[in-house]
């Protein structure tokens, strides 16, 4: 009789609950963006001060605008279109990866997304809003989910990621005022960042997995085989 051992991954980092304060951080982050947008709606001069244009970034080197532009929205409809997904991804990213991932890393990556986007524009085009960062977050989360969540088969992980991606990333209609190239750039940077993060933290991430072992008994004989 020989035992055949089957090892399965029972849980991973993402099987745990997010940090307790994740909901608070997510809501506060969204409220900060709403507060800044409300101030800008009341004061057009503040709006112009915080928004980003190619000339201000590339010629005048006012790089701080790459971050402040994330918090500025054109109107309430623009804010509401971003608020739900922004809150959702902040909850996940802070909840599982902590302060150095959000807000620190994503502030830097969001600024990089806006910078790369502005390189493709000319003139006084104003870039505002958190949608580029949302696509950045989505690209990161969906990619890192596929890498980490090994308690589910790869095919199922890919289907989940593709399904959520279609819901979050594909617009239902096209609007001339939306910077879809910023969305695409953000998503690509998010995917690249997730690959780099996973490779750098792979051993730590794998150490958080718990295993489930099943021992299956096999009986082999010459003439008669008995199942025990």
pLDDT 10s digits, 52-109: 999 999 999 999 999 999 999 999 999 999 999 999 999 999 999 999 999 999 999 9
HSE, CB side, 13 Å, CA atoms: give it for residue 193: 25
HSE, CB side, 13 Å, CA atoms: give it for residue 219: 6
pLDDT over 70 (residue 226):
no
Residues 176 and 106 in one domain: yes
Q: What average pLDDT does the structure give for the chain?
A: 91
The SS3 of residue 186 is helix
Residues 120 and 217 in one domain: no
Please give the structure tokens belonging to residue 224: 């008669």
Query: Is residue 124 a contact partner of residue 57, using CB atoms and an 8 Å limit?
Result: no
Residues 200 and 212 in one domain: no
The SS3 of residue 7 is strand
Q: What is the pLDDT of residues 202-214, one digit of tens each?
A: 999 999 999 888 6
Q: What is the pLDDT of residues 132-161, one digit of tens each?
A: 999 999 999 999 999 999 999 999 999 999
- The whole-number pLDDT of residue 221 equals 44
Residues 34 and 95 in one domain: yes
Instruction: Give the range of the structural domain holding residue 99, as residue numbers without chain letter.
Output: 17-207
| Beta-bridge partner residues of 216 | 4
- The whole-number pLDDT of residue 223 equals 44
């Amino acid at each position: 009789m020989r035992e055949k051992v089957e090892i399965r991954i029972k849980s991973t980092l993402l099987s745990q609950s997010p940090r307790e304060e994740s909901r608070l951080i997510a809501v506060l982050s969204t409220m900060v963006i709403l507060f800044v947008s409300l101030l800008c709606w009341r004061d057009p001069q503040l709006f112009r001060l915080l928004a980003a244009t190619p000339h201000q970034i590339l010629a005048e080197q006012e790089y701080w605008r790459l971050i402040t532009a994330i918090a500025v929205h054109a109107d309430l409809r623009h804010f509401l279109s971003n608020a739900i997904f922004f809150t959702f991804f902040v909850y996940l990213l802070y909840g599982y990866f902590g302060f150095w991932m959000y807000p620190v890393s994503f502030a830097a990556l969001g600024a990089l997304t806006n910078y790369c986007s502005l390189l493709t524009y000319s003139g006084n085009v104003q870039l505002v809003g958190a949608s580029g960062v949302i696509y950045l977050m989505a690209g990161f989360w969906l990619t890192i989910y596929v890498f980490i969540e090994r308690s589910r088969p790869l095919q199922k992980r890919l289907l989940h990621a593709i399904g959520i991606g279609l819901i979050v990333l594909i617009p239902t209609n096209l609007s001339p005022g939306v910077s879809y190239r910023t969305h695409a750039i953000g998503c690509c940077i998010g995917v690249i960042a997730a690959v780099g993060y996973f490779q750098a933290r792979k051993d730590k991430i794998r150490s958080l997995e718990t295993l489930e072992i099943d021992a299956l008994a096999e009986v082999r004989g010459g003439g008669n085989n008995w199942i025990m």
